[in-house]
Amino acid sequence: MLILVLSDIHANLEALDAVLDDAPAVGETWVIGDIVGYGPEPDEVVERLRERGVIAVRGNHDAAAIGGDEIDYFNEDARRAMLWTRTVISDRTRAWLTALPERVVREGFTLAHGSPRDPIWEYVTTTPVARASFDAMATDHGVIGHTHRPAAYLNDDGVMSFMTPAEGSQLVFGTRRVLLNAGSVGQPRDGINTAAWMTLDTEAGTATWQRSAYDIAAVQAAMRRVALPAFLRDRLAYGG
Ligand code: ZN
């Protein structure tokens, strides 16, 4: 089956729609958390995902949006954006976010926002942390988000390696143990300002990373209209 993997959409509907326009027809869409927070259109993003019947897990921003004390750990800009998000989301959005699990096992993959070990908060940015994630998951393969940077960690019988996929990169993993990060749709932080996404072909055992350009200025204008923090607007332009 071909699977579309989206992570860290962060209420950026322009970016999400650009990705959905570019993506091939797929059997399933997996969403690896942080669906809301930072961006200007949380209800619209959730509605799009609901219509599509996605399989999704909860991120730290989703947990905060439904009232969780995760907000206490946010920096000032993230906190301001989250307080706004809490006031605008509909009951329907809140109920959908509340129903999200922290982990899902599907097609031989563990789906978790931060890491399989600590789904809400842990950042997998080093091979020792990745190794701990492999130890914490029952499947050979995992999909994560949270860092907003595309990445792949490989574990060949305990020998760890790492790659930073570029646009168009394909990894043939087959039966090897891998932990894959699609990057962020709505707020990339790898120095590239286009929306990041990934497809998985579970029969071929391949992952392919892609990018989609979107109307950044339109999102910034929408953020300005609702007075979201300037830094959160500005960073979209440089992908940092
Ligand atoms: Zn995020």
CA of 128 to the centre of ligand 1 (A): 21
CA of 33 to the centre of ligand 1 (A): 7
CA of 114 to the centre of ligand 1 (A): 9
Percent of the chain with pLDDT over 90: 100
CA of 183 to the centre of ligand 1 (A): 10
Pairing state of beta strands 170-172 and 206-212?
A: antiparallel
To the nearest whole number, what is the mean pLDDT of the chain? 97
The pLDDT of 122-146, averaged and rounded, is: 96
∠ CA 225-231-237 to the nearest 5 degrees? 85
The pLDDT of 181-207, averaged and rounded, is: 98
Tokens of 230: 């300037």
CA of 59 to the centre of ligand 1 (A): 7
* 131 Cβ neighbours under 8 A, 6+ residues apart: 155, 160
CA of 34 to the centre of ligand 1 (A): 5
pLDDT at 7: 98
CA of 160 to the centre of ligand 1 (A): 25
CA of 8 to the centre of ligand 1 (A): 5
pLDDT at 78: 97
pLDDT at 132: 95
CA of 10 to the centre of ligand 1 (A): 7
CA of 157 to the centre of ligand 1 (A): 30
CA of 42 to the centre of ligand 1 (A): 13
CA of 60 to the centre of ligand 1 (A): 7
pLDDT at 168: 97
- What residue has token string 């899902």? 104
CA of 104 to the centre of ligand 1 (A): 18
pLDDT in tens, 103-119: 999 999 999 999 999 99
Counting Cβ atoms within 10 Å, is residue 111 exposed (0-12), middle (13-18) or buried (19+)?
buried
Contact by Cβ (8 Å): 212, 197:
yes
CA of 57 to the centre of ligand 1 (A): 12
